[in-house]
Structure 1
Amino acid sequence: MNQGGIGAPIDGEASVTGAQIAEVVTQQLEAMLSAGNYDGVKTLLKPVQPVDIAESIGNLPLILQALAFRLLSKNEAIEVYEYLDPAVQQSLLDRLRSGEVLELVERMSPDDRVRLFDELPAKVVRRLLAELSPDERRVTAELLGYEAETAGRLMTTEFIDLKEFHTAVEALKIVRRRAPYTETIYSLYVTDRERHLTGILSLRDLVTADPESRIGDVMTREVVNVQTDTDQEEVARAIQRYDFLALPVVDREKRLVGIVTVDDVIDVIEQEATRDIYAAGAVQAGDEDDYFQSNLFAVARRRVVWLVVLVLANGLTTKVIATNDDVLKQVVLLAAFIPLLIGTGGNVGAQSSTVVIRGLSTQRIQTLGLLKAVFRETIAGALLGLLMLLIVVPFAWWQGQGPLVGTAVGISLMCITTLAATAGASLPLLFHRMGLDPALMSAPFITTATDVAGVWIYLKTASWLLSSMAN
């Protein structure tokens, strides 16, 4: 991309990142719009990639966003609009004239239009649907009819399908004619008269084939596909596994109804990873808006639910300590090692849960086997406990000026790390088996559970040792 229209490279570097380009464009764009230099804006944006233009417009003050967007050519405006954040898209719909809005929505790709409609109020969606052309309205209603986060909702209906009886020359003519209106031309699909998917070939195969050869002779009949109700995570894994640029989607009768392209899958992977990270940190994922642009009340609301649960669960730790206060009264130094033990157990449990949840996400853990995975983490927890024991016990023995504290810490440390690793591995697997998101078994929850168990083990061990020494 020629960057001459957006200023010199930043800090003398030979190249700049997309974020840096957007930052420079935003600064120059705001200055030109404020000065009324609209011809300069058009010259500035001409060499810039649509995704960078979208980010730059999104960074502008609200009053300037619509003005900058109106200065784009029609074709460029459609492409830029699809890269805008949902909040900016909605803001522009409110600020643009109804005719501009209708043209914008009409010319969007069906899958991008559906994602926009998912963010809009139902009343606005009904109005826009009613104003679409019959063909676009039918396609949009069809996609909206599929369940959220499935292949049917994610797919686009803009693809090229051929027939087995077409020659390579005829097929190339079809590709040239339909290319401007399709999402991708690199994967071509073959269907029969009832639109059943019968084969696939790449554009490379078509171009290099003998001009008079039939498509049925050069296509591949074994086609990897997904159904309309396939979960979007499975679609993403299939594209990742086979390195596809697009994946065909069929209905229950095996008719080809759409394709999912790799750019949409990248968005899915980011979305699912964000949800898992939020869940692992005991934060409700909420809607698809930017977490850092949410107001503070929304941020607090998302965090408070799990925090209340964890506070109540931690109350059990207090209860365990209170019911064993006689042990602490006899040996006060025992209390000094409680944070060390529960902290170690919590960290080990969090590590095990992270490994297992990631293994489930990538499906690598199925290769090992679920029971073997739990056993492996249990052994790892025991080994970690042994290594920690070699460091902590001598110190505890020295601080306690005798065997009681050191022995209690050593036995408890081994038990706690083993238990924490087992719980951290097995609880996410249990959630997975129950059909729930394993990431919901978050690290804070596992940490809290191991805290309660760890304190109970530690104080009961110390009590047992005191009784043994007394006898």
Structure 2
Amino acid sequence: MKWENDEILSMIEQKKYTDVREKIINLNPVHVGEIIESLDVSESILVFRMLPKDLAVDVFNYISSEVQENIISAITDKEIKHIIDELYFDDMIDLLEEMPAKVVKKILQHSNVEERKLINEFLNYPESSAGSLMTIEYVDLKKNMTIGEAIEHIKYTGINKETIYNCYVINEERKLEGIVSLRKLILSDYNLKVEDVMNKDVVYVNTGNDQEYVASLFKKYDIIVVPVVDMEDRLTGIITIDDIIDVIDQETTEDFQKMAAMAPSEEAYLDTGVFTLAKNRLMWLTILMVSATFTGNILKRFEDVLQSVVVLTFFIPMLMDTGGNAGSQSATLVIRSLALGEIETKDFFKVVYKELRVSLITGIALAILNFLRIYFLQGTDFYVSVTICITLLFTVVLSKVVGAMLPIIAKKLKMDPAIMAGPLITTIVDAGALIVYFSIAKVLLHI
């Protein structure tokens, strides 16, 4: 595919626009979007306007908000109206949320009063809620319809719906009563009623549910679409798998950023300004820098021990690094398991007990290997070697237990477990390890 993209880009450079159009109209919309993204502003607008109307709408979904803004600012009102009319409702809401006010105003000029009212209602849902993710393009049925009537209804209304594979059965008050798949309808006797074949045990979410909870339902029930109801159980919309994939990517990226002690950002790395990146990192770096003063105070408190046995200083980095790495391992596993629903806060003692056993095994193994290295190979004093290895065992146990505990405690306190990751755990473990290190040294080395 890359060679074909390169060929088209070469044609654009040579201004062979007729050949370009013949090539791109047969490409997948995603590939066309990639080509447009790689062009400068004027060329991207020119290529976009070459596209047939239906292909232009599909391609519009696969280009960045920056390029979308450039295109909307340049094309005619008639072209904007066609795009807005053909976009699925949830895609239009996403577009409006990312555009500046002047562009939003231009888009809304092509919406009628009823559409604008609905758009405003959707834009008022919390950003990470099910309501902000849903679309209103679904097929609803009445339970007293025959199967034949239901299929005719789908044929008539389904052409502009985002999905017709699942249809939702509602009553006169629009309350959700059941769900029936298109497959079930087609394979059933056309004289039966919809209520005879519908599934009444419906998995659904509320408009106020968090998007992370919605994603967990998709995984748990292995579904591709879920209905959304309001506080009175009235069907409001549906959420499809394509939106949930975006949510999973977003949540995973956010967790990685928090685990690296950075404020989350939804913008792509290259699109984010230098000052914004610095601001996102500065707060946590400041907190961790200040918390590291505890480590400095501990070193100062045991200054006499360091002066007496200078060799102890050489092993401090190894102990700290090992503790940080061990804690990060446990924290990463626990945070991911919490995100996937594999463990819950009620499993706190099970997790801690398990990590305690794991830490003893790994700690003893590392302590033995380290003793063989520093005593036999490096010729370090026996009691110094024992001091270092006992501290190493304690450090591994402490870091793994703390790494397992903190994310669960954060979850219990309704905080994001990802904030209890590497840097914070390392700071806690470093302080504990140094206290134990020098306390053992005082006893064994008679300082």
TM-score (norm 1): 0.90
Give the equivalent residue in structure 2 for 1:10.
none
Q: Would you say 1:74 and 2:24 are equivalent positions?
A: no
Greater Cα shift, 217-226 or 106-115? 106-115
Tell me the CA shift for residue 335 of structure 1. Answer: 0.8
Higher alpha-carbon deviation: 392-401 or 277-286: 392-401
Q: Which moved more, 1:366-375 or 1:346-355?
A: 366-375
After TM superposition, give the deviation of residue 365 of structure 1 in Å: 1.2
Give the whole-Å Cα distance in 1 for the aligned partners of 2:338 and 2:127. 22
Task: Confirm or deny that 1:268 pairs with 2:247.
Answer: yes
Aligned twin of 1:13: none
Q: 2:88 matched to which residue of 1? A: 109
C-alpha displacement at 1:126, in angstroms?
4.4
Aligned partner of 1:54 in structure 2 is: 33
Whether contact under 8 Å (1:110, 1:139) holds in the other structure is no
Question: Could you report, residue by residue, the CA deviation over 1:68-113 in whole angstroms, capped at 9, with x for unpaired residues?
Answer: 1111111111111112122222222233234433432343211111
Secondary structure of 2:215's counterpart equals: helix
The aligned residue for residue 355 of structure 2 is: 377
Q: CA deviation at 1:32?
A: 2.4
Asked if 1:221 corresponds to 2:205, the answer is no
Q: 8 Å contact 1:321–1:455 — kept in the other structure?
A: yes
Measured after TM superposition, the shift of residue 28 of structure 1 is 2.9
Question: What does the per-residue CA deviation read over 1:90-140, in whole Å, with 9 as the maximum and x for residues that have no partner?
Answer: 222233234433432343211111111111224543453354123432332
Q: Would you say the 8 A contact 2:9–2:35 is kept in 1?
A: no
Does 1:310 find its partner at 2:326? no
Structure 2 distance, partners of 1:464, 1:308, is 36
CA RMSD of aligned residues (A): 1.9
Q: Find the counterpart in structure 2 of residue 180 from structure 1.
A: 159
Q: Check conservation: 2:324, 2:429, Cα contact below 8 A.
A: yes
TM-score normalised over the length of structure 2: 0.95
Opposite residue 388 of structure 1, the aligned amino acid is: L
Which residue of 1 is the match for residue 174 of structure 2? 195
Q: Which moved more, 1:263-272 or 1:359-368?
A: 359-368
Q: Which residue of 1 aligns with 2:431?
A: 452
Rounded Cα–Cα distance in structure 2 between residues aligned with 1:91 and 1:272: 28
Structure 2 SS opposite 1:423: helix
> What secondary structure sits across from 2:128 in the alignment?
coil
Q: What code does the residue aligned with 1:435 have?
A: K
Q: Distance in 2 between matches of 1:395 and 1:325?
A: 26
Instruction: Write the mapping of 1:199-278 to structure 2, written as runs, cut at 5 A.
Output: 199-278=178-257
Describe the SS at the equivalent of 1:222.
coil
Aligned to 2:180, what secondary structure does the other structure show? strand
In structure 2, distance between residues paired with 1:208 and 1:40 = 47
Whether the 8 Å CA contact 1:397–1:404 is kept in 2: the answer is no
**How far does residue 304 in structure 1 lie from its aligned partner after superposition?**
2.5
**Structure 2 residue identity aligned to 1:340:** M
Once residues 357 and 169 of structure 1 are traced to their aligned partners in structure 2, the CA distance between those partners, rounded to angstroms, is 50
Q: 1:212 deviation in Å?
A: 1.1
Separation (CA, whole Å) in 2 of partners of 1:366 and 1:434: 13
Q: CA deviation at 1:221?
A: 1.1
Q: Residue by residue, what CA displacement relative to the aligned partner does 1:295-336 show, whole Å, maximum 9, x if unpaired? A: 333333322322222222223222221221211111111111
Greater shift, 57-66 or 200-209, is seen at 57-66
Q: Which residue of structure 1 aligns with residue 100 of structure 2?
A: 121
User: Unmatched 5+ residue regions in structure 1?
Assistant: 1-20
Supply the AA of the counterpart residue of 1:195.
Answer: R
Aligned partners of 1:193 and 1:317: how far apart in 2? 67
In the TM superposition, residue 400 of structure 1 has moved relative to its aligned partner by 5.7
Shift of 1:209: 0.7
1:269/1:145 CA distance change after superposition, 3 Å = same
Report the counterpart of residue 11 of structure 1 in structure 2: none
Code of the aligned partner of 1:318: G
User: Which runs of 5 or more residues in structure 2 are unaligned?
Assistant: none
The answer to whether the 8 Å contact 2:403/2:421 transfers is: no
Query: Counterparts of 2:95 and 2:30 in 1: how far apart (Å)?
Result: 17
Mapped contact 1:149–1:232 kept (Cα < 8 A): yes
Q: Deviations over 1:440-467 (max 9, x none)?
A: 1121221222122212221222122233
1:403 maps to what in 2?
Answer: 382
Q: Secondary structure at the match of 2:233?
A: coil
One-letter identity of the residue aligned with 2:247: V
Contact 2:72/2:103 (<8 A) preserved: no
- Which residue of the partner structure matches residue 309 of structure 2? 331
- 1:403–1:322: structure 2 CA closer, same or farther, 3 Å change rule? same
Alignment length, in residue pairs?
Answer: 446
User: C-alpha separation between the residues in 2 aligned to 1:279 and 1:48?
Assistant: 39
Change (3 A) 1:442 1:93: farther
Shift of 1:425: 0.8
Q: Offset at 1:368?
A: 7.9
SS of structure 2 residue aligned to 1:211: coil
